[in-house]
Chains A and B, each alone.
Chain A
Amino acid sequence: MVTEVDKNMPEKNDLNISTNKSQPVISVKNLVKIYKVGSETLAALNDVSMDIFAGDYIAVMGTSGSGKSTFMNILGMLDVPTRGEYKFNGEEVGDKNKNERARLRRDNLGFVFQSFNLLSRTTAYDNVELPLIYGNIGSAERREKVEKALISVGLKDKMKNTPNMLSGGQQQRVAIARAIVNNPKMILADEPTGNLDTRTSMEIIQIFQDLNDKGITILMVTHEDDIAQSAKQKVIFKDGKMKSSEEVHDRLIATDQLAQMPKPEEIVEEA
């Protein structure tokens, strides 16, 4: 599950991302997450262990309530496990406080959400700029990076548009640009195609596959089989446990799929 990291990919920080199997990017052991709802306790995650290596592209599947979202949120340091060990790049995340976790997130992770989570009444440009602002990056460098990220998702002409002037697919591409603008080690996507039609979904997957080819590790939660088929590895959750983990055969390649699809007029995104 390890691919060669593109040597041309600029490395933003000094964290030494290992390309060999002995050092996973993420290593979790015996993760448990318990929610208390009134007097009932619910184990959203029950003893989950996993290693994720640089260049992996993992689809996490499962029914609603299977624990897949909780798993992703913990890996994304948005949530903390009740028990268990979480090492990111060899560092124990459990030892870090909220602000340190925020900085780790800022420098190493990019998020893509089902509902895009763009700031309303804020231009695409300003949305993408956010992580850089929090990263204390100078304005000239910010401009360069934001433009590069927006161009790479094909939104060169939409930089000054606010989310309400963009289609769903365009909004999700802004969100992806925001996720990659900081050159993250890993992208965490929670149902990234959940609100999109088939063709637009495939376009988003195409971007993910491109990014993965460039060496970015991707963890994607989805419940759609064909979307999961685009990943390299498929993990299935059930009742808070990891039920199966297998390599994807006959991987779906978005570029091929798109080539086969007709391009009907009505799907052309409005300008």
Chain B
Amino acid sequence: MNIGSTVKISFKALGKNKFRSFLTMLGIIIGVVSVIVMQAIGKGSSADVNARISSLGTNLITISPISARSGGVNQDAGSGVSLKKEDADVLLKEVPTIDAVSPLVRTSAQIKYGNKNWRSTISGVFPGYFTIRVLEIKDGAIFTKEDEKKLAKVCVIGKTVQDNLFGPGVDPIGKTIRVGTIPYLVIGTIVSKGTSGGGQDQDDIVLAPYSTVQNRMLGNDNVNQIFASAKTEGDVNTAVTQIGEVLRTQHKLLPGAPNNFTISTQLQIRETLNTVVDTITVLLSIVAAISLVVGGIGIMNIMLVSVTERTREIGTRMAVGATGIDVQFQLLLEAVVLSLTGGVTGILLGLLTAYIVSRFGGYSTIVAPDSIIISFVVSTLIGVFFGWYPSRKAANLNPIDALRYE
């Protein structure tokens, strides 16, 4: 029995009961649509979370000093101060996997403009800090390496500081604010980042060149933290190791001595969040998979009805020479045609639904090619799996019993 004719016969048989075939397919269609849409929403959310974390700088590496005290005991002389600006310079030179480094010094100060004042923190950083922390400039510009060299008294302010000192409708660019006793020219404002995961207001900042803050406002050359960004996300772990080695050498730590600094990254947070998103996606996909199985049972049910209904037809086919294999193949093919047509329709509808959800529903959706391929393969397998028993039943009919069936 040739396949072309069998496919034709299958389509004809299904075409005789168009509405019933459609209802049967509906189970598969709904299942495939939900699989595709759930996967798309899961992937979309995951991408959203990653984008949000990237906005904090996924490549961000933070190096902090450890206090020279350990277990209440003073350590070796000279270890009291663990991080210097020179450490940052060495890191940029010797660690190939990082592309930007900035030390940070910080001090609280009363900030004044006109008759308004606001208590905040001023941080001294390299211009590279803006890239490392993914801070975007809203108006104006950031300070330059020239400003750094000249100890220029310029600063960039966050939205909270701006709101409290200037109020609405006043352009802060070009105005001079007083930080403690020192006047700073405001040259830029930063795009608001809102509150951080820890509940800290990320907009309550004043950033000025490192050298300015360090020389004009602080009495020593200790830095509070060093920030670095790895070239790519994949480089983060390597960079952490390399930074550790370079700093140990730089700090002349003996083998076996503990680090007098700690290195932390954003990866850990992101992994946790991704695990949550993945779990939700898996749960939703299981629900969708269950609806596919229910669709398959629908196919099996209708095929069983069909076999009973067409018993005489099957008998006639056997009388004119159809073997059990021919009968089974034909019915199996009908089941596969049903589930596959349902699957393909479901894929198309799923793509459409995913588009509508992202366009009008406010969710990001990403339809992965593998979810389409999986839907296609699974719907074929469902046809074979759930069509097997009914077709086997038909193939095992005794020709004379089938012919006499009323």
A, B in one complex = yes
Q: Which of A113-136 contact B (CB under 8 A)?
A: 113, 117-122, 130-131, 133-136
**CB atoms of B2 and A133 under 8 A apart:** yes
Report the number of A-B residue pairs with Cβ-Cβ less than 8 Å. Answer: 67
Is B320 among interface residues, defined by CB-CB distance under 8 A?
Answer: yes
| A119 vs B316: C-alpha distance when bound (angstroms) | 8
Contact-size category for B: 20 to 34
A99/B399 contact (C-beta < 8 A), A122-B12, A133-B1, A136-B1 known: no
Closest CB in chain A relative to B391 CB, distance in Å: 15
| A39 vs B9: C-alpha distance when bound (angstroms) | 43
Hey, which chain A residues are within 8 Å of B1, CB to CB?
133-134, 136
**CB atoms of A134 and B320 under 8 A apart:** yes
Q: Which of B155-191 contact A (CB under 8 A)?
A: none
Hey, which chain A residues are within 8 Å of B5, CB to CB?
133
Name the CB-closest residue of B to A106: B321
Name B321's contact: one of A98, A102, A119, A121 (CB within 8 Å): A102
CB-defined interface of B1-16 with A at 8 Å, one 1/0 digit per residue?
A: 1100100010010001
Hey, which chain A residues are within 8 Å of B316, CB to CB?
117-119
Hey, which chain A residues are within 8 Å of B12, CB to CB?
122
Hey, which chain B residues are within 8 Å of A234, CB to CB?
none
Is B318 among interface residues, defined by CB-CB distance under 8 A?
Answer: yes
Closest CB in chain B relative to A137 CB, distance in Å: 9
Is A105 among interface residues, defined by CB-CB distance under 8 A?
Answer: yes
| A107 vs B315: C-alpha distance when bound (angstroms) | 17
**CB atoms of A111 and B320 under 8 A apart:** yes
Hey, which chain A residues are within 8 Å of B9, CB to CB?
133
| A133 vs B323: C-alpha distance when bound (angstroms) | 12
Name B403's contact: one of A78, A102, A105 (CB within 8 Å): A78
Is A249 among interface residues, defined by CB-CB distance under 8 A?
Answer: no
Hey, which chain B residues are within 8 Å of A103, CB to CB?
321, 323
Name the CB-closest residue of B to A117: B316
**CB atoms of B400 and A78 under 8 A apart:** yes
**CB atoms of A117 and B312 under 8 A apart:** yes
**CB atoms of A135 and B321 under 8 A apart:** yes
**CB atoms of B319 and A99 under 8 A apart:** no
Q: Which of A85-103 contact B (CB under 8 A)?
A: 98-99, 102-103
A111/B2 contact (C-beta < 8 A), A102-B324, A117-B403 known: no
**CB atoms of B323 and A102 under 8 A apart:** yes
Hey, which chain B residues are within 8 Å of A73, CB to CB?
400
**CB atoms of B313 and A78 under 8 A apart:** no
Name the CB-closest residue of A to B325: A99
Determine which residue in A102, A111, A182 has the highest number of CB atoms from chain B within 10 A of its CB, and name it. A102
Is B326 among interface residues, defined by CB-CB distance under 8 A?
Answer: yes
Hey, which chain A residues are within 8 Å of B318, CB to CB?
78, 102
**CB atoms of A130 and B325 under 8 A apart:** no
Hey, which chain B residues are within 8 Å of A79, CB to CB?
398-400
**CB atoms of B321 and A182 under 8 A apart:** yes
Hey, which chain A residues are within 8 Å of B319, CB to CB?
76, 78, 105, 111, 117
A131/B400 contact (C-beta < 8 A), A117-B312, A122-B12, A136-B2 known: no
Is A241 among interface residues, defined by CB-CB distance under 8 A?
Answer: no
| A119 vs B326: C-alpha distance when bound (angstroms) | 16
| A135 vs B1: C-alpha distance when bound (angstroms) | 6
Is A178 among interface residues, defined by CB-CB distance under 8 A?
Answer: yes
Closest CB in chain A relative to B361 CB, distance in Å: 44
Hey, which chain B residues are within 8 Å of A106, CB to CB?
320-322
Chain B residues touching A, majority SS:
helix
Hey, which chain B residues are within 8 Å of A105, CB to CB?
319-321
| A120 vs B12: C-alpha distance when bound (angstroms) | 11
Is B317 among interface residues, defined by CB-CB distance under 8 A?
Answer: yes
Determine which residue in B318, B321, B324, B400 has the highest number of CB atoms from chain A within 10 A of its CB, and name it. B321
Name the CB-closest residue of A to B4: A139
Hey, which chain B residues are within 8 Å of A134, CB to CB?
1, 317, 320-323, 326
Hey, which chain B residues are within 8 Å of A119, CB to CB?
313, 316
**CB atoms of B2 and A178 under 8 A apart:** no
A131/B321 contact (C-beta < 8 A), A78-B399, A79-B400, A117-B316 known: yes
Closest CB in chain A relative to B324 CB, distance in Å: 6
Name B324's contact: one of A99, A111, A182 (CB within 8 Å): A99
Determine which residue in A73, A79, A98, A135 has the highest number of CB atoms from chain B within 10 A of its CB, and name it. A98
Closest CB in chain A relative to B301 CB, distance in Å: 23
Hey, which chain A residues are within 8 Å of B322, CB to CB?
102, 106, 130, 134
Closest CB in chain A relative to B333 CB, distance in Å: 13
Hey, which chain A residues are within 8 Å of B403, CB to CB?
78, 113, 117
Q: Which of A36-62 contact B (CB under 8 A)?
A: none
Name the CB-closest residue of A to B312: A117
Q: Interface of A with B (CB < 8 Å)?
A: 73, 76, 78-79, 98-99, 102-103, 105-107, 111, 113, 117-122, 130-131, 133-136, 178, 182
Sample of 8 A–B contacts (CB below 8 Å): A103-B323, A106-B320, A107-B321, A117-B403, A130-B321, A131-B321, A134-B321, A134-B326
Q: Interface of B with A (CB < 8 Å)?
A: 1-2, 5, 9, 12, 16, 312-313, 315-326, 398-400, 403
**11 further contact pairs, Cβ within 8 A, besides A102-B318, A102-B326, A131-B320:** A78-B400, A79-B400, A99-B325, A102-B322, A106-B320, A106-B321, A113-B403, A118-B316, A130-B321, A134-B322, A178-B320
